[in-house]
Amino acid sequence: MSHPFATATRRRGAAALTALVALTGLALTAPPEAEAATVATHDRALQRSLEGLVRNPAVPAALASVRDKHGRVTNYTAGVADIRTRAKVPTDGYVRIASSTKMFTAVVVLQLAGEGRIELDESVETYLPGVVRGKDIDAEKITVRQLLQHTSGLQSNTFMDKGILPIRDRYFDARELLDSTLAQGPAFAPGTDWDYSNGGYVLLGLIAQKVAGRPFAELVTTRIINRLGLSETYYPGPGDRTIRQPHAKGYLPVDEDGKLLDITEFDPSIAGAAGQIIATPSDVNKFLVGLHTGKLLESRELAEMRKTVPTNLLPGWSYGLGLIKFDLSCGGTAYGHGGDADGYESRAAITTDGRAVTVVITNDQNAEATTMKLIEIFDAALCAKK
């Protein structure tokens, strides 16, 4: 069973339906802040598509936020926030963004690289001597770049093998997650293949923390969240199993009849630097705009982030340093990521002309057809002219 925060592979074996999207290396133009206001420019096709998704009993709610190239924001909802009370879905509510956290983790590492404190092609042994040890694992041969682009050969931890329910209230230290990853041995020799690895991103969080001498959550908060003014984005602290209000509840199917269990609250430490962040869809879009307009990284580091390698994702998709590049059906490209946390499945990306889209549904263990429909809706929203 793959980790619930992995965007690259579906539980049913279809490779990486969670990716998100991609873009060329063109620089984006930052929209004037004065224009970044919500306006009544609803895309009726997007609204109808979301309403179509929630006709499926397995998908209680859908949320979306679209930020156009001028900075104008439109939010969308469909379905219900609570299958028991039938409460309305809160506009732009908080969700677990899961593996979209990898973009934040990669930014912190690349910032440290830009400061000369990390070398992307240096081995992990340089930064955590004696820590990365396991059968057939040679830390001298694994580089920081390989961790960022999922070519290290490291796998994910095994704690999720029986699903989230046995461990929903269990706190995991990052070193404990790493030790579980290392105990499995490598999937392949470093640099010889590509495979999505949450374990690699947990290790990146430990490297950043060691180099900077501060807790990883603090690095994300001070270097990204506070810098961009992301008031609706946060890295949950130890023991925080809740999601801030307002939010739609997240659900987990628990039997063959499709019965849904409320899985909104659980300890997200199982994901750590690979997938722990909580945010609203509009704040994820703000992050994407800030990243691709140079507010977080210098041009050299942003260019490195956008360099991609082939993957085992869907045809034509490739992976950079914490970003997925995806060719859109309309002929363009966009950069972004996706996330699967138990209860929430999301996609987020930005196009070359600065159109940012985040779409979320409140069940991540969906049939392949549902996930593909979500990707189709996501692609259409990025291609839309409104």
> Alpha carbon of 348 to those of 35, 162, 164, 209, 217: distances in Å?
21, 28, 24, 26, 21
Give the tens place of pLDDT for each residue, 15-49.
Answer: 333 333 333 333 444 444 433 444 447 899 999 99
Indicate if the pLDDT at residue 255 is higher than 50: yes
User: Which pLDDT belongs to residue 124?
Assistant: 98
Any idea which residue has 């579906």 for tokens?
A: 10
Higher pLDDT, 364 or 356: 356
Show the tokens assigned to 231.
Answer: 């008031």
Give the tens place of pLDDT for each residue, 261-301.
Answer: 999 999 999 999 999 999 999 999 999 999 999 999 999 99
User: Which pLDDT belongs to residue 2?
Assistant: 37
Give the tens place of pLDDT for each residue, 143-158.
Answer: 999 999 999 999 989 9
User: Which pLDDT belongs to residue 88?
Assistant: 98
User: Which pLDDT belongs to residue 20?
Assistant: 34
User: Which pLDDT belongs to residue 262?
Assistant: 97
Rank 34-38, 61-65, 258-262, 328-332 by mean pLDDT and report only the highest: 61-65
Show the tokens assigned to 274.
Answer: 């690979």
**Contact of 71 with 29, CB cutoff 8 Å:** no
Categorize the per-residue pLDDT at 257 as very low, low, confident or very high, splitting at 50, 70 and 90. Answer: confident
User: Which pLDDT belongs to residue 385?
Assistant: 80
Indicate if the pLDDT at residue 3 is higher than 50: no
**Contact of 382 with 43, CB cutoff 8 Å:** no
User: Which pLDDT belongs to residue 26?
Assistant: 36
| Spatial separation of the C-alpha atoms in residues 43 and 359, rounded to whole Å | 14
User: Which pLDDT belongs to residue 14?
Assistant: 38
Q: Check the CA dihedral 237-281-80-247 and report its sign.
A: positive
Any idea which residue has 């949950």 for tokens?
A: 236
Indicate if the pLDDT at residue 63 is higher than 90: yes
User: Which pLDDT belongs to residue 310?
Assistant: 92
> Alpha carbon of 4 to those of 156, 159, 161, 274, 357: distances in Å?
11, 11, 10, 11, 22
User: Which pLDDT belongs to residue 244?
Assistant: 98
User: Which pLDDT belongs to residue 365?
Assistant: 87
Active-site residue set: 99
| Mean pLDDT, residues 368-385 | 94
| Spatial separation of the C-alpha atoms in residues 191 and 151, rounded to whole Å | 5
User: Which pLDDT belongs to residue 312?
Assistant: 85
Give the tens place of pLDDT for each residue, 108-135.
Answer: 999 999 999 999 999 999 999 999 999 9
Contacts of residue 371, Cβ cutoff 8 Å, sequence gap at least 6: 10, 14, 17, 18, 345
Give the tens place of pLDDT for each residue, 216-247.
Answer: 999 999 999 999 999 999 999 999 999 999 99
Higher pLDDT, 364 or 3: 364
Categorize the per-residue pLDDT at 50 as very low, low, confident or very high, splitting at 50, 70 and 90. Answer: very high
Average pLDDT, the chain: 90
User: Which pLDDT belongs to residue 315?
Assistant: 78
| Spatial separation of the C-alpha atoms in residues 78 and 62, rounded to whole Å | 5
| Mean pLDDT, residues 242-260 | 93
Least confident of 33-42, 162-171, 364-373: 33-42
Higher pLDDT, 213 or 34: 213
User: Which pLDDT belongs to residue 102?
Assistant: 98
Task: Please state which CATH number belongs to domain 33-383.
Answer: 3.40.710.10
Residue (of 285, 275, 284) closest to 343 by Cα position: 275
